């Protein structure tokens, strides 16, 4: 029997819980430590999922001799620093998107991952959603070529709250977090690097200190284009919606679900072993550890995304 992979999860908020729910369905994996800032709330989550070790310090978990790997669902601003700490401690690591909030941070992570040879993966979930996997396979089979992607990423976040409506201790970011999903997915789905990128942003929020609205245009080397609209001001349907316009079809992807351009639902239940993109992401992480290989969305494999985000940030700073 294969050795059980023992995991620590940092961040017991909305996204950390999504990972815990996904991991429950994966054989040969045990979460042995839960790390988060609020000890009492962390204990409550740990009790629910049968996790024995609870702490507010990542370093305490990294010191556990039996620990093999870490999943980081912590604030964006901590991602690069904590990923580096995990790698230096000799642990495989999956960090939620984004890899970093600067190109320098992303480059430092990639360099250390290469040096250690450990599995280092970033949670670019869109690569794993069955809906986007279906489109990816259509492109790979030569049955569909993307001409344009039209993407809307809309939330109502005029206060600093998370997906569960709970107060956040950090500020989310349209460019370095939410745009990262689409920038990476566009190049990945087209199988072609991004060669042109433009961005505009709306007014800076007086309290949060970030732009609440943003528009991004991308072009791939193969000629495909992408238009991305992002907002924290949208008081309506929330989430990210992708329209793939191609030479043979139009697809609408809404997280794990897929529809035709005429809103006819497409059965994607056989695309992979689960309909849960987060679970599939975690399955890839653990499979890469067992097989001693680079995972899909390795930190090196997604670095080009952060190079584009850096370019866009430079434009917006002018």
What's this model's pTM, rounded to 2 decimal places? 0.94
CA-based nearest residue to 181, from 156, 153, 158, 205:
153
Please report which helix (H) or strand (E) contains residue 46, including its range: helix 39-49
3-state secondary structure of 297: coil
Adjacent-strand bridge partners of 228: 151, 216
DSSP codes of every residue in 78-121:
GHHHHHHHHHHTT-EEEEESPS-SSHHHHHHHHHHHHHH---EE
Give residue 173's pLDDT.
87
Per-residue pLDDT of the chain (318 residues; tens, 9 = 90+): 589 999 999 999 999 999 999 999 999 999 999 999 999 999 999 999 999 999 999 999 999 999 999 999 999 999 999 999 999 999 999 999 999 999 999 999 999 999 999 999 999 999 999 999 999 999 999 999 999 999 999 998 776 665 556 666 666 889 999 999 999 999 999 999 999 999 999 999 998 888 999 999 999 999 999 999 999 999 988 899 999 999 999 999 999 999 999 999 999 999 999 999 999 999 999 999 999 999 999 999 999 999 999 999 999 998
Tokens of 194: 């991004």
Give residue 302's pLDDT.
98
Cβ neighbours of residue 120 closer than 8 Å, sequence gap 6 or more: 83, 87, 92, 93, 94, 95, 109, 110, 112, 113, 298, 299, 300
Burial of 116 from C-beta contacts in 10 A (0-12 / 13-18 / 19+): middle
Please report which helix (H) or strand (E) contains residue 266, including its range: strand 265-266
């Amino acid at each position: 029997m294969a050795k059980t992979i023992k995991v620590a999860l940092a961040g017991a908020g909305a996204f950390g819980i999504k990972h815990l729910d996904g991991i429950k369905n994966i054989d040969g994996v045990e979460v042995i430590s839960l790390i988060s800032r609020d000890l009492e709330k962390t204990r409550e989550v740990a009790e629910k999922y049968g996790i024995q070790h609870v702490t507010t310090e990542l370093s305490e978990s990294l010191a556990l001799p039996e620990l093999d790997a870490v999943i980081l669902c912590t604030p964006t601003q901590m991602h690069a620093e904590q990923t580096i700490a995990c790698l230096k401690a000799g642990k495989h690591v999956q960090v939620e998107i984004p890899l970093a909030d600067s190109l320098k941070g992303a480059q430092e992570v990639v360099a250390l991952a290469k040096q250690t040879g450990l599995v280092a993966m970033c949670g670019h979930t869109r690569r794993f959603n069955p809906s986007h996997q279906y489109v990816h396979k259509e492109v790979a089979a030569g049955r569909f070529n993307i001409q344009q992607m039209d993407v809307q990423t809309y939330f109502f976040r005029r206060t600093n709250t998370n997906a569960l409506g709970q107060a956040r201790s950090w500020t989310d970011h349209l460019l370095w977090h939410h745009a990262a999903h689409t920038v990476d997915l566009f190049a990945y789905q087209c199988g072609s690097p991004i060669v042109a990128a433009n961005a505009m942003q709306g007014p800076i929020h007086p309290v949060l200190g970030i732009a609440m609205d943003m528009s991004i245009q991308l072009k791939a080397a193969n000629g495909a284009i992408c238009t991305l609209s992002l907002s924290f001001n949208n008081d309506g349907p929330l989430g990210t919606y992708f329209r793939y316009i191609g030479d043979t079809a139009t697809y609408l992807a809404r997280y794990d679900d897929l529809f035709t351009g005429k809103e006819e639902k497409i059965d994607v239940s056989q695309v992979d072993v689960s309909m849960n993109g987060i679970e599939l992401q975690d399955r890839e992480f653990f499979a890469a550890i067992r097989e001693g290989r680079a995972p899909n969305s390795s930190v090196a494999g997604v670095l080009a995304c952060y190079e584009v985000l850096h370019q866009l940030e430079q434009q917006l700073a002018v």
